[in-house]
Amino acid sequence: MTVKIHIDGGARGNPGPAAAGVVITAPDGKVIYEAGLYIGQATNNVAEYHGLVSALKAALALNASQVDLYSDSELLVKQMLGEYRVKNAGLRPYYQQALALTRKFDRCDFAHVRRDQNNHADSLVNMAIDCQADIGSQMP
């Protein structure tokens, strides 16, 4: 099964209260998983990577074999595509975990999208920060 994944991460203050948003849709466009994941104090980039790792784990649990992943974080997308090096030591463990997870799929493609094309994931980030708790679907 091919899934589309939209991820986002954010922190109020940088670092500050942070969360990630994940939206996974089936080929017919139906949302099959969505979550806002509160992660406490973190930077924007850590929140983005937290969303990526969580999304890839959820896609594996849903038995996805192919992934089209969309993020409004140009840094994350370019790092995952190998166009930018991961210079920040704090991001390297997340990057390495995400890279290992991508290898479990037959195909995992990344695309950078504008923020207005990522509204659902962004709204989940804000709801999780507002509630200071995880919201949405349970892990499949």
Rounded Cα distance between 4 and 15, Å, is 29
Summarize the chain as % helix, strand, coil (round to 5). Answer: 35, 35, 30
Please provide the average confidence, as pLDDT, over all residues in the chain. Answer: 96
Name which of 41, 2, 5, 8 is nearest 123 in CA terms.
8
Yes or no: say if 8 and 122 are a contact pair by the CB < 8 Å rule: yes
Q: Report the C-alpha gap between 28 and 109 in whole angstroms.
A: 18
Output the pLDDT for position 54.
97
Q: Give residue 20's identity as a one-letter amino acid code.
A: A
Burial of 40 (0-12, 13-18, 19+ CB in 10 A): exposed
Show the beta-strand stretches assigned E in 72-137: 107-112, 135-136
pTM value is: 0.95
Q: Provide the residue ranges of all domains of the chain, joining segments of one domain with +.
A: 2-136
Helices (H), 42-118: 44-61, 74-80, 92-102
**How do 66-71 and 107-112 pair as beta strands?**
parallel
Predicted confidence (pLDDT) per residue in 77-96, tens digit: 999 999 999 999 999 999 99
- 70: nearest Cα among 39, 37, 28, 25: 25
Segment 45-58 shows an average pLDDT of: 98
pLDDT, mean of residues 97-123: 97
- The arithmetic mean of pLDDT across residues 54-81, rounded, is 98
- Which CATH code fits 2-136? 3.30.420.10
Quote the pLDDT of residue 139: 60
- CA-CA distance, 10 to 19, in Å (whole number)? 6
pLDDT reported for residue 16: 97
